[in-house]
Amino acid sequence: MGLNRNVSLSTALRYKGQGPFLSFILHRIGGLGMAVFITIHILSVYIEALGWKIGDILNDIYMNWAFQIFIFFCVLFHAINGLRITLLDLFPRLSTYHREALWIEWALFLPVFGLSVIVILATAVGG
Amino acid sequence: MQVTLKIFRYNPEVDKKIHYETYNFEAQETDRILDLLEHVKGYFDGTLSFRRSCAHGVCGSDAMRINGRNMLACKVLVRDVGGQITIEPLLGLKIQKDLIVDMEPFFDNYKKVLPWFINDSPLPADERERLQSPQQRARFDDTTKCILCAACTTSCPTFWANDDYLGPAAIVTAHRFIYDSRDEAAAERLHILSETSGVARCHTAYNCTLACPREIEITRAIGELKMSMITGKLD
């Protein structure tokens, strides 16, 4: 007799795996975010073609500045983190420097994302 | 200093649900977490159950989650984690009682990678030993350090979500034999690792590397095996 082996999502997320585990979680959120975006996009085009008003509502969701910031975060983080993982997988010796690789990833991600947020917000406010 | 120890408790014969119990007492900064558990068992509640054996970081019996991270209780001092300490069992394995988990699935996976020396060729002419250069020995030195504590495997998100995944510890053991110049079953082990439950399931999250109490570069070892599968080379 014993408890189930399965680990719940909330328990898994509470594991203190430090930086690499955080990027592992953000990578999955990024992938999921992109899937949601593409699904909404396809649905809205299809529904608009049918002439239903809900298509406009879906359009408004993904054209909203907050959603644009979220989706840009998803795409950019997923891409840069994916590049880090690919390099570490292709060159296992670099794994010794995986902490440094993570710092480089954030050093690349933060300025690009920050600048993009400013542009998206400026566009949203100023048109 | 005063420590507050919050311990995961579950006795399947009595409890319907898991719960936590908290113990407050004086401890030294240089006490190990294992010392605190022994103190609770000796002075507060003799029913508290946990594994321990050598108490010197060699046997690997007392791996557990300490403040949310897999560690060996005998290798962590109070000053390393502070006075507020939460102790929980390893994730992904059935809890038998309190901090004791069922290690059987872990060892089942371990056995799958043929964790023994295989060489059916006759001994060299002197019939004494199969010699190996220092460089050949160094090739797999890191992965010989594994003590099978399961800290790596039970910190792996893929292991949590997939019953079939071999897990880092089994892969580390495979690495130890695959790159041993005296062993002759590398191809067979690589075939086992190339299956869907093998190294392809590793998502390079590094939880295993950070959890390993022997500081084995586990993710690097897995990466080397991935590359050997792609290139077919064992150098």
In this predicted model, what pLDDT tens digit does every residue of B145-170 receive, in sequence order?
999 999 999 999 999 998 889 999 99
Which has the higher per-residue pLDDT, A7 or B140? B140
Q: How far is CA A81 from CA A67, A75, A113, B213, B225, in A?
A: 21, 10, 13, 27, 22
Confidence of residue B83 (pLDDT cuts 50, 70, 90): very high
User: Going from the N-terminus, what domains does chain B have, and what CATH number goes with each?
Assistant: 2-101 (3.10.20.30), 104-231 (1.10.1060.10)
pTM score: 0.90
Say how many Å lie between the first and final Cα of chain B, rounded: 52
User: Going from the N-terminus, what domains does chain A have, and what CATH number goes with each?
Assistant: 19-126 (1.20.1300)
**Is the pLDDT reported for residue A4 higher than 70?**
no
Contact B223 A95 (CB under 8 A): yes
How many CB atoms are closer than 10 A to CB B116?
10
**Is the pLDDT reported for residue A3 higher than 70?**
no
- Cβ proximity of A62 and A83 under 8 Å: no
Confidence of residue A58 (pLDDT cuts 50, 70, 90): confident
The per-residue b/e assignment along B189-213, b for 16 or more CB within 10 angstroms, e otherwise, is bbebbbeebbbebbebbbbbbbbbb
Contact A92 B209 (CB under 8 A): no
**Is the pLDDT reported for residue A2 higher than 60?**
no
Which residues in chain A have their CB less than 8 angstroms from residue B203's CB?
Answer: 24, 85
Q: Is the interface score ipTM higher than 0.85?
A: yes
pLDDT, chain B, mean:
95
What's the rounded mean pLDDT across residues B27-54?
Answer: 96
B42 and A CB contact within 8 Å: no
Confidence of residue A50 (pLDDT cuts 50, 70, 90): confident
What's the rounded mean pLDDT across residues B65-81?
Answer: 96
What's the rounded mean pLDDT across residues B90-111?
Answer: 95
Confidence of residue B197 (pLDDT cuts 50, 70, 90): very high
Contact A3 B10 (CB under 8 A): yes
SS3 per residue for B39-87: HHHHHCCCCCCCCCCCCCCCCCCCEEEECCEEEECCCCEHHHHCCEEEE
Q: What is the pLDDT of residue A1?
A: 44
Confidence of residue B127 (pLDDT cuts 50, 70, 90): confident
Residue type at B233?
Answer: K
Say how many Å lie between the first and final Cα of chain A, rounded: 63
What's the rounded mean pLDDT across residues A88-99?
Answer: 94
Q: What is the pLDDT of residue A27?
A: 97
**Is the pLDDT reported for residue A61 higher than 90?**
no
Which residues in chain A have their CB less than 8 angstroms from residue B220's CB?
Answer: 92-93, 95-96
